[in-house]
């Protein structure tokens, strides 16, 4: 691949010059916006990813300047490189939109649709994709694939039922850690992500498989069922970490750190990998230097009720004292006297793993 040859490619009537060897998907991402096809399995930071999920299908209406014939079928844009003078239709082609809606339904065939339980809900790419295409329900009436849930080590929970077999985690584990311990067992309908004989995944960077997972198949056990992502405030923070860059997003509620994730860019991809110590063990605000609120997409449920970039920073102002010339109200109800939720002395974020009935037992107070 030489950087000098630039190919002119037109995607949805927008032209751009890209280096030869660029895939259609990456060319579309350079244009940005709605032109970029969605991708469930392609991950620009993982070599060899892509070509599995088929959500990035596009129509090539003109092959190239030299051979202007259209490609006979829709092509996977993450695996097709651009040609000079290529014309691509993504959202302007009804064929593509229709095919993609079908792909979403196929992806949801074996998906349990247990979004109310799933910790990924609210930041799930499959959820976004299915709602974008109006396929959030299902027409499938038969028994779905079922698997038992696995613990991959003490930090990662694997829900194989939710998996769409995108292989991102396999690539991530392989390329980040250099020692591959998990992969896909069996074939076809039976294939499942697994570690051989329930072997623990123990590696400094293995927590990143949680971030690369586009669905809720791999989730953080230290955050499991603690809170919903849209009730947390995402804050950019950093610390001096000897193993990784230490640049993370903290998901706070009040001062409690409920979850630590890597920072994700506009395509939902991790900007910098973070180590397990940062991700799972630093759950105190004193461990971190907070930089400020993270910019959350206006359309995300996480930013509901907030303006973009202000999630968690809007504090209510006390009006009574201002109105009464500084006098305090005589009757105040401290909500913690009555309420059993968010009790100050129970810090859910400090419980290892999900809370159980015994954590809320009055005897433990």
Partner 1 sequence: MEALTSRSVQVSRKPMSLAERLFLPAIFKGMGITFSHIFKKQPTIRYPEQKREFSPVFRGLHVLNRDEEGRERCTACGLCAVACPAEAITMEAAERLPGEEHLYREEKYAAKYEINMLRCIFCGLCEEACPKDAIYLSETFAPANYTRKGFIYGKDEMVIPNVKTDPEGYAKAKGSPRNN
Contacts with partner 1 by CB under 8 A lie at: 114-117, 121, 224-228, 230-231, 301, 304, 333, 335, 337-342, 348, 354-357, 359-360
- Complex with partner 1: residue 13 or 304, whichever CB lies closer: 304
Nearest approach, Cβ of residue 238 and partner 1 (Å)? 29
In degrees and rounded to multiples of 5, residue 102 shows phi and psi of -65, -40
- Complex with partner 1: residue 80 or 252, whichever CB lies closer: 252
Torsion of CA 314, 248, 160, 78, to 10 degrees: 100
Nearest approach, Cβ of residue 163 and partner 1 (Å)? 17
- Complex with partner 1: residue 186 or 340, whichever CB lies closer: 340
Do residues 157 and 221 touch, judged by C-beta distance below 8 A?
Answer: yes
DSSP state of 341: S
- Complex with partner 1: residue 131 or 360, whichever CB lies closer: 360
Nearest approach, Cβ of residue 229 and partner 1 (Å)? 9
- DSSP string covering 214-272: SSSSEEETTTTTT--GGGSEEEEEE---SSS--EEEEEEETTEEEEEEE-B-TTS-BSS
Nearest approach, Cβ of residue 204 and partner 1 (Å)? 27
Nearest approach, Cβ of residue 1 and partner 1 (Å)? 46
Strand 156-158: give its sheet, edge to edge.
Answer: 150-152, 156-158, 218-220
- Complex with partner 1: residue 136 or 287, whichever CB lies closer: 136
Nearest approach, Cβ of residue 15 and partner 1 (Å)? 42
H helices present in the chain, as ranges: 24-31, 94-107, 125-132, 168-177, 208-212, 276, 319-323, 335-338
Specify burial of residue 147 (Cβ count, 10 A radius: 0-12, 13-18, 19+): middle
Nearest approach, Cβ of residue 351 and partner 1 (Å)? 10
Torsion of CA 286, 258, 271, 179, to 10 degrees: 100
- Complex with partner 1: residue 53 or 218, whichever CB lies closer: 218
The C-alpha atoms of residue 29 and residue 78 are separated, in whole angstroms, by: 11
Cβ-proximal residues to 325 (8 Å cutoff; 6+ apart), any chain:
none
- Complex with partner 1: residue 289 or 359, whichever CB lies closer: 359
């Amino acid at each position: 691949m030489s950087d000098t040859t630039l190919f002119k490619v037109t995607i949805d009537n927008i032209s751009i010059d890209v280096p030869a060897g660029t895939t259609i998907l990456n060319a579309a991402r350079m244009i940005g916006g709605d032109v970029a096809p969605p991708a469930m399995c392609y991950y620009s930071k993982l070599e060899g990813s892509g070509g599995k999920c088929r959500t990035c299908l596009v129509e090539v209406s003109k092959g190239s300047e030299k051979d202007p014939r259209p490609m006979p079928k829709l092509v996977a844009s993450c695996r097709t490189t651009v040609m000079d003078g290529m014309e691509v239709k993504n959202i302007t082609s009804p064929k593509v939109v229709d095919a993609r809606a079908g792909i979403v339904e196929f992806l949801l065939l074996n998906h349990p649709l247990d979004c109310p339980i799933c910790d990924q809900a609210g930041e799930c790419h499959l959820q976004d994709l299915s709602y974008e295409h109006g396929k959030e329900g299902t027409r499938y009436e038969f028994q779905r694939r079922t698997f038992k849930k696995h613990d991959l080590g003490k930090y990662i929970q694997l829900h194989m039922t939710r998996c769409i077999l995108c292989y991102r985690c396999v690539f991530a584990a392989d390329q980040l850690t250099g020692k591959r311990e998990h992969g896909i067992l069996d074939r076809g309908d039976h294939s499942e992500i697994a570690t051989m004989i329930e072997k623990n995944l123990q590696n400094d960077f293995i927590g990143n498989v949680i971030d690369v997972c586009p669905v809720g198949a791999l989730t953080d056990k230290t955050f499991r069922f603690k809170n919903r992502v849209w009730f947390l405030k995402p804050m950019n923070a950093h610390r001096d970490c000897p193993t990784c860059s230490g640049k993370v997003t903290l998901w706070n509620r009040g001062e409690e750190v409920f979850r630590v994730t890597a920072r994700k860019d506009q395509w939902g991809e991790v900007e910098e990998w973070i180590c397990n110590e940062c991700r799972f063990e630093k759950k105190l605000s004193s461990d971190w230097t907070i930089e400020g609120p993270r910019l959350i997409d206006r359309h995300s449920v996480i930013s509901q009720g907030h303006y973009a970039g202000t999630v968690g920073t809007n504090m209510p102002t006390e009006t009574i004292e201002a109105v009464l010339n500084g006098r305090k109200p005589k009757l105040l109800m401290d909500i913690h006297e009555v309420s059993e939720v968010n009790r100050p002395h129970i810090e859910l974020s400090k419980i290892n793993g999900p809370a159980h009935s015994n954590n809320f037992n009055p005897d433990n107070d």
